[in-house]
Structure 1
């Protein structure tokens, strides 16, 4: 079985590698492997070029899973399930089974022709959403049930106060309109900026995005509207601007009760976000955990064939007009395929990131047509009234006069929304194999799904050889992924038998000069020593000032820096097994600090590593990083929904596991598992790598 088949593999047992093989036939001790074709040597991209390329590929693939209407109809339920999974809401029960909203009306504002109910609801027990419900009243008010509109606030500091003219105008037009606040701002503050500002990059490992909470709050807002006697649950729409525009996309895609949607200034391609670096201006709530490598047009595929009006500004600094038009063009092809091209419209407005009279009146007209059955042209339907005397104060619209409830979960919902598994109880080998298979299957799909299914040839090449230090030494190169030519070194002591077992050490990002050489230096015959430079180290290193951008951009494309390095390590192990004088059946993997996380996952996926040597490994992937993005980057998409580092270590049994230096208490689980399975001597705690090397000599 070759690497391109790994996604189809259902199990990997001890000694069966990532390539589905047991060990490897040693390379001939003669000449080095054939050099790559002319022009390929040294071909290496920058990390920015790579992420831009991968984002472009994702954008180009959007909606390609729907060649015809029948395929769309058949696939949409599973695609919607995947979308909810990427939002962290795959465990959300269907509407009738959800917990009660526990709606609390804390006050009513009476105005001529309408009233405003100040209310809060619980989207989950203890997760409060502050909202205002605008309802028509008086002798000219339409008879209920009314069409309902969910208005999602953007990132304006005063939230429902800032946007009040919009729900008021909807109400004047005969709609019931619920305006809801975001988690980041407003009366019930939480966190949107975990990765953006706080250094909480472990959100990616948890599979958490604040977009999921905004989606949840929007879905429960629809629940609230559907339960109101004044509202027709069959005539609901959703709209909002900026962050509220993004929330409109999410809610309309996830909940088919939305019969019409109008996202404003919340549309662009992934290719643009990465290449144009507009991602740097975006909150974490603007994208999902991109497990399945979607773009926004794929989200539009879940809104179709329902009426969708995309409104955007042509000089928006975080949503380029070219990208907006591309999303619209991609969605237009699908709407045409489904036979409803008129249900999709793009409204472009002049100026920066903001509403315009043209977009507002187009939305009011669109909603009147599709929810009320009224044909009122935009130029006749009327705009919002921004006269100072019409605006309510923050005090007037406030829901919680004394502040958020004491049991409010918003500040900690990022730690509670997605349930994480507990370490499994394993008492015998059958249980170990079952858990290993479960973890590997889930990791391949949900953490390492961005691995190339058909990687290019390794084209391993020994670039030069020498005989210094009483050893055979060489520098070698190999192709890890298209556009990435990586390097390593090999030293085989003259005293070692040929072919020799080899310790492969991973260079660490930002390390001091020759730090890895010093780390692996104590290894002597009978072992050979190899050092590999994965992406972000050696020749492909990048400045730490770029790290914040790269960690977010990589995640949006469905991978992380750590997961890319896991792939590089797997390819490096293949390359090393092909080198002269190496016994590919006896390979050890060594790493320090953050690279220990990479080594653990690579060893598990490879399946043929006999010894894993770790110095100062991280205790868990469920821990924050530095706010500026510098330092260790060990996050991997969704991994904590599947496993954690100590459990990965345990699943390496019966490989020898050697902890050098500080061993966090979390690894006691792995140590106990080795003891339970009858091999306590294969889990070692040693003061230095030299101590292990002395035992081998």
Structure 2
């Protein structure tokens, strides 16, 4: 099987899942609230929602009187140091609190300046409107293009995407609107275009205060993004962390049954109209089931990735009808009046962002990572390991098959050279993946310990797959497992970027898939009659060293682990010009980094070869405190290691 085919199929299977049918509105609401809590967790904002909100320190730096409305130029801090530059449009001569609209900008360099006419029109219709700059563009510029262009696949291990920061900024924007005397906090809406259309969805899904939403050119389907590779054109901010592998419709359902308008041109490069229609039909069926069929609509029209006068008027009429309580048709709604203010009149910071701005580093701190537990006893380690395994199985390896296939080991070839033999076999991993392995040894009636290595994707010569075990002394059976992306299932390096981003989109990573393959391969090796299943050594090098470590942690019965050229942390970014297959694992840093995971292996013997590992002082201290039988040994190679030394 090919990895691209697998990802296409996995995404399609998710997108094909039907949404539940609910007997009552109360049943749906219970389902929705449970899923929403999980959505908050996946975003990583659950901790902030559970705490008292930090002061926003709203500061108005200037105002512009436009006759029909006033524009306040302001900034606020959604978290301490996380500055948001915004323009607030307040209609003139309000006699009662008005509905509020949060406008979220798409990917345009000048942000709120470029989209000012939308806020102007809303204000002229009586909506108090707050338009926000994103972190990536506008006046305070941070980073959205982590995995897109900077090699920041460590974001996947953090469970971070810029969608989390943008949704949090939007939630605090709703806080700001709701606290204004001019705003009826019971009538808040959100809208935006492109990336702003995507964040409009995620904000509505995350915050029930949103009573109406319109997404322009921001509605997608994961299967389409992966199958047609529209993902390749998308900024990271379009996609929240999706550790549970939900389809787009399953996520969007959190906005139901509130009024939702989907605006979608049919010549959009990044959101295919057929996929948008499929998502809409699923959501429409849910809305009808909930007795709210008139609260969702799709406006599809012939154009590229952009607004048109008709699409804008449809959005204005949607909010007038569903948020302001003034039923208005598209034909009755007004469009822009052609007035645009120059950029200098709308800038908040005027080229001088605050000195304590933390927007440029939000990717490093928004997701709170745990402090390592100080391990001082075997009982303490056992309790910590049990807790850790529960968490990582749910949060990091949730895509593992719930019901594994029969292993179905098959002999592919066996040949002899004197008293030595080589046995090539295959085994079922998951789905249509059938992987290869090889066993090498000498004819002997007694069972022997097995040294198993994970094949490297770069190996080409016949003998190289066993390089990690070269020079191993004693009566070892040697085995090799060809995890996905190695041997017959290898793919070209030009696919690495797409595969790694696509896998994360559906809650998976190449490394996690390989961990599963390694576990299945170990099962296959243990079935071999010559193998002592209780004495297994597993070896991996580079990216495969991480896979080997995680497989040993989950397996629980491997006696020795050999790590060659072991990476130091999941926090490392990649060289974007030379991407390998990667060793990121979804959400892993929310539980532990590599040194803490390595310590959890005690009393497994760890042999470090190649370049000395760096940053593992914590692991070494834990092993030293716990003592025998756990050991960490440093060797240039395995030439002096034997089965008897185990």
Return the TM-score normalized by structure 1. Answer: 0.90
CA positional deviation for 1:93: 2.9
1:498, CA displacement in angstroms? 2.1
After TM superposition, list the pairs within 5 Å mapping 1:589-668 onto structure 2: 589-628=538-577, 630-631=579-580, 633-668=582-617
CA contact (8 A) 1:120 1:399 kept: yes
Q: Is the 8 A contact 1:551 1:629 kept in 2?
A: no
Residue by residue over 1:16-72, the C-alpha shift from the partner in whole angstroms, topping out at 9 and shown as x without a partner, is xxxxxxxxxxxxxxxxxxxxxxxxxxxxx2111100100011112253385764432
SS at 1:689 equivalent: coil
Out of 505, 516, 529, the residue aligned to residue 567 of structure 1 is 516
Map of 2:37 onto structure 1 = 81
Provide the residue aligned with 2:217 in structure 1: 265
**Structure 2: runs of 5+ lacking an equivalent:** none
Aligned to 2:501: 552
Q: CA deviation at 1:75?
A: 2.0
**TM superposition shift of 1:681:** 6.1
Q: Tell me the CA shift for residue 680 of structure 1.
A: 7.0
When residues 76 and 445 of structure 1 are mapped into structure 2, their CA distance, relative to the original with a 3 A threshold, is same
CA contact (8 A) 2:226 2:502 kept: yes
Superposed displacement of residue 629, structure 1:
5.9
**1:326 paired residue among 278, 301, 323:** 278
- 2:356 counterpart residue number: 407
Aligned twin of 1:130: 85
Aligned to 1:103: 58
Q: Distance in 2 between matches of 1:430 and 1:694?
A: 29
Does residue 388 of structure 2 align to residue 433 of structure 1? Answer: no
**Count of residues paired in the alignment:** 645
Counterpart CA distance in 2 for 1:562 and 1:694 is 29
Hey, what does 1:336 align to over in structure 2? Answer: 288
Deviations 1:200-223 (A, max 9, x none): 000000111100001001000000
Alignment of 1:354-503 (within 5 A): 354-385=306-337, 387=338, 390-468=339-417, 470-494=419-443, 498-503=446-451
Pairing 1:506–2:506 present: no
Q: Partner residue of 2:16? A: 60
Aligned to 1:580: 529
For residues 355 and 451 of structure 1, the distance between their equivalents in structure 2, rounded to whole angstroms, comes to 42
Residue 121 (str. 1) matches residue 51 (str. 2) = no
Question: After superposition, what is the alpha-carbon deviation per residue over 1:288-313, rounded to whole angstroms, capped at 9, x for unaligned?
Answer: 11111112212222111111111111
- Counterpart contact for 2:160–2:367, Cα < 8 Å: yes
Deviation at 1:349, TM superposition (A): 1.7
Contact 2:22–2:289, Cα closer than 8 Å, also in 1: no
The answer to whether 1:308 aligns with 2:263 is: no
Pair 1:676-2:625 in alignment: yes
When the two chains are superposed, the root-mean-square deviation of aligned CA atoms in Å is: 1.6
Given that 2:15 and 2:221 are in contact with CA atoms closer than 8 Å, whether structure 1 keeps it comes out as yes
Superposed displacement of residue 110, structure 1: 1.0
Q: Does 1:189 align with 2:141?
A: yes
The one of 175, 185, 193 aligned to 1:223: 175
Q: Matches of 1:692 and 1:65 in 2, distance apart?
A: 61
Q: C-alpha separation between the residues in 1 aligned to 2:394 and 2:467?
A: 37
For the residues of structure 2 that align with 1:70 and 1:456, how far apart are their CA atoms? 38
Deviations 1:361-407 (A, max 9, x none): 1111111111211112110111123x3xx111111110002421111
| Structure 1 residue corresponding to 2:2, chosen from 46, 49, 53 | 46
Quick one: distance in 1 between partners of 2:172 and 2:235?
22
State the 1:665 CA deviation. 3.2
Distance 1:563 1:681, change over 3 A: closer
Kept in 2: contact 1:674–1:680 (CA 8 A): no
Structure 1 unaligned residues grouped into runs of 5+:
1-44
Structure 1 residues 227, 62: CA separation in 2 closer, same or farther (over 3 Å shift)?
A: farther
Question: 1:686, 1:692 within 8 Å by CA — same for their partners in 2?
Answer: no
Q: Does 1:177 align with 2:129?
A: yes
Contact (CA 8 Å) 2:19, 2:250: kept in 1 or not? yes
Give the Cα–Cα distance (whole angstroms) in 2 for the partners of residues 629 and 641 of structure 1.
27
Look up the match of 1:539.
Answer: 488
The SS at the match of 1:196 is: helix
Asked if 1 retains the 8 angstrom alpha-carbon contact of 2:473 and 2:640, the reply is no
In 1: Cα distance, 2:577 partner to 2:294 partner: 46
Partner deviation per Cα, 1:253-296 (whole Å, 9 max, x = no partner): 11111110001111111111111111001010111111111122
Residues 596 and 617 of structure 1 are in contact (CA less than 8 Å); yes or no, is this contact kept in structure 2? yes
Query: 3-state SS of the aligned residue for 2:452?
Result: strand
Is the deviation greater in 511-520 or in 312-321? 511-520
Pick the aligned partner of 2:153 from 185, 201, 214. 201
Task: Quote the Cα distance in structure 2 between the aligned partners of 1:163 and 1:613.
Answer: 56
Deviation string for 1:341-362 (max 9, x for gaps)?
Answer: 1111111121111112222111
Instruction: Name the CA distance, whole Å, in 1 between partners of 2:118 and 2:387.
Output: 49
Write out per-residue CA displacement over residues 618-654 of structure 1, whole angstroms, 9 at most, x where no aligned residue: 1111110121461250100000000111111111111
CA distance in structure 1 between the aligned counterparts of 2:381 and 2:305, rounded to whole angstroms: 54
Q: Is the 8 A contact 2:244 2:506 kept in 1?
A: no
Task: Note the alpha carbon deviations across 1:126-168, whole angstroms, 9 max, x for none.
Answer: 110010011111xxx4423111000000001111111111000
| Aligned partners of 2:449 and 2:643 also within 8 Å | no
CA contact (8 A) 1:62 1:294 kept: no
> Would the alpha carbon gap of residues 67 and 637 (structure 1) be closer, same or farther in structure 2, given more than 3 Å must change?
farther
Partner Cα separation in structure 1 for residue 20 and residue 506 of structure 2: 17
Question: 1-side partners of 2:86 and 2:592: how far apart?
Answer: 38
Is contact 1:590–1:613 with CA below 8 Å preserved after alignment? yes
State whether structure 2 residue 48 is matched by structure 1 residue 92: yes
- Residues 335, 554 of structure 1: CA spacing in aligned structure 2 closer, same or farther, 3 A cutoff? same
Distance in 2, matches of 1:415 and 1:79, equals 26
